[in-house]
Amino acid sequence: MSPSLFRRLTVGLAALTGVLGASLAGIRAADAVTVPILVADVDSGKVLYAQAPTDPWYPASITKLMTTYVALDLVRQGKVSLDSMITISAAATAEPPSKMGFKPGTQLTLDNALKIIMVKSANDIAYAIGENLGGSIDNFATLMNETAQRIGMHDSHWYNPNGLPDPRQWTSARDMAVLARALIRDFPESHDLFSISAIQFGRAVMANHNGLLGRYPGTDGMKTGFICSGGFNVVATATRNGRRIVTIVMGQPSPRERDVKAADLFDYAFAQSAGWTSPTLDALPASALSAPPDMRPFVCGGKKPPAIEDGPGALNAPGSAAQLIGGAAANSPALALAAFSNPALRARSLPPRAPLQPIAVWIGRNPAEGQQIIDAQEAEQKAAVANSRAAKLEAAKARRLAALEAAKQARAARAEQAQAAKATAKTPAAKVAAKAGHPLPHAASAYTAVETPTMPEAKPGKGLSKPAPKAAAHKAAPAKAAAKKPAAKKAASDE
């Protein structure tokens, strides 16, 4: 072997070892959880690429594909029609976002309801579909599970029609590929339902959450979903040269990485041919896992999560990137090193989206009735705002009048007190007291009773003679007065 050839082989092996070593180290750091990925040919059901295809996973809003199949199947059976009215209940209104926010009692056709859940992914509308078509959410979930078994889904358990978090509700990449093929096969007349780029309700335009539509050539469906425990998921279909591929990517840390990875998988799949050795969806082995892993620590990192349906994007937790690559589990080395290279994913993005082509949706039976309802609701809202404002103004006026009346009464009370004090000051006793320097207090009376002390009468005793004649009495009076003066003088000296 020549030295130059040996050197090239050495460098190549070192680079390959470094890439695989980094991937394996990252996977060990993330507890070796492998995210589900599957690529299959729609017509034949042949699997072109698979990674953990039957592992249980939280579906999030790709659940709405199952809800749509059940609804379209009921239409096919003649039990309902696309013009059947769906009534929004208070329970549906209480569902968390993403939602339309219609008032309880609002009605819309099943056709418009399906368009809304496929584009806006409105949880309140999906809940209302389940209530109206199943009679209750539990009954509709039973229909979902029975239908899933009938069309060949073996790994799915359904408990609600919108995909909001429920630890009992999960599916697999294989089951979602089976469901996608069944929707395309059984309802070809509803093909456009899964490729609507946007809906328009009134003046509001809402774009589809599927970031591949209008950005990856040939994309024609289907649905995205996100919750922290399941990451960012997508079931996507694309057609090129008459060949249709379905790609399922789950557990991604952001919508962009999910979309770029799906685009790479489409590129890979369209370059491959499904040979006789390729397994079918039904032939994929069952998973050894008994329940889905919780991706919350890796996807949301303990921070505030984005909206239930594709918000601005989740934040990566430390060590989560390699865990979400799944490179070591790839069955194609070229695909592992190219499509699943996380640094490459972070540095790339899809082209800008093509201009939206909104499809109108409405409440009521037709657009005219829907506009009348909207106008009536707007008039009612304006009237409520005006009434609220008038009530606030009236309350403020009442408070002002009450304050003025209280001030008036306070002034009157002060004036009355002042007049009473003035009248008291004019009484004779008050004048005398004022001249003496001791004005009477307001509570004192101007008239007081004065008792004049009298001398006690002398009682006859032994050795006393009879009372003297009047002349003698007159002579004794000065003597008594003289005897009284020293006592008064002594009393004054005791103070």
Three-class SS state of 402:
helix
Write the CA distances from 42 to 47, 176, 179, 212, 406, integer angstroms.
9, 12, 11, 18, 83
Q: Which residues contact 9 (CB under 8 A, 6 or more apart)?
A: none
Q: What's the gap between Cα 461 and its chain centre?
A: 113
The C-alpha R_g of the chain, in whole angstroms, comes to 48
Predicted TM-score (pTM) of this structure: 0.70
**Which two tokens mark 147?**
């239908």
pLDDT at 261: 95
- Residue of 377, 381, 383 whose CA lies nearest to 363: 377
pLDDT at 299: 87
How far apart are alpha carbons 324 and 315 in whole angstroms?
Answer: 13
pLDDT at 381: 85
H or E stretch at 45:
none
List residues with catalytic annotation.
Answer: 61, 64, 121
Question: What are the φ and ψ backbone dihedral angles of 374, each rounded to 5 degrees?
Answer: -65, -45
pLDDT at 100: 97
Q: Cβ atoms within 10 A of the Cβ of 416, count?
A: 10
- The partner residues of 141 in beta bridges, in order of sequence, read none
Is the CATH number of domain 18-365 3.40.710.10? Answer: yes
Contact 315, 303 (CB under 8 A): yes
User: Where would I find the beta strands (DSSP E) of 390-482?
Assistant: none
Three-class SS state of 293:
coil
pLDDT at 274: 81
pLDDT at 442: 54
Q: Cβ atoms within 10 A of the Cβ of 166, count?
A: 18
Q: Is cis: bond before 206, omega within 30 of 0?
A: no
Q: Which residues contact 297 (CB under 8 A, 6 or more apart)?
A: 317, 320
**Which two tokens mark 366?**
């037709």
pLDDT at 125: 98
DSSP state of 170: B
How far apart are alpha carbons 80 and 72 in whole angstroms?
Answer: 9
H or E stretch at 319:
none
pLDDT at 352: 93
pLDDT per residue, tens digit, the chain (495 aa), is 554 544 444 434 444 344 334 333 333 334 567 999 999 999 999 999 999 999 999 999 999 999 999 999 999 999 999 999 999 999 999 999 999 999 999 999 999 999 999 999 999 999 999 999 999 999 999 999 999 999 999 999 999 999 999 999 999 999 999 999 999 999 999 999 999 999 999 999 999 999 999 999 999 999 999 999 999 999 999 999 999 999 999 999 999 999 999 999 999 999 998 888 899 999 999 999 999 999 998 888 766 555 444 433 333 333 333 333 333 333 443 443 344 445 555 567 889 999 999 999 999 999 999 999 989 988 988 999 999 999 999 999 999 999 999 999 999 999 989 888 888 877 776 666 666 665 555 555 545 555 555 555 555 544 444 555 554 444 444 444 444 444 444 444 444
| Domain-wise residue ranges, the chain | 18-365, 367-419
- The partner residues of 49 in beta bridges, in order of sequence, read 39
Q: Which residues contact 233 (CB under 8 A, 6 or more apart)?
A: 57, 59, 60, 62, 224, 225, 226, 248, 249, 250, 251, 252, 258
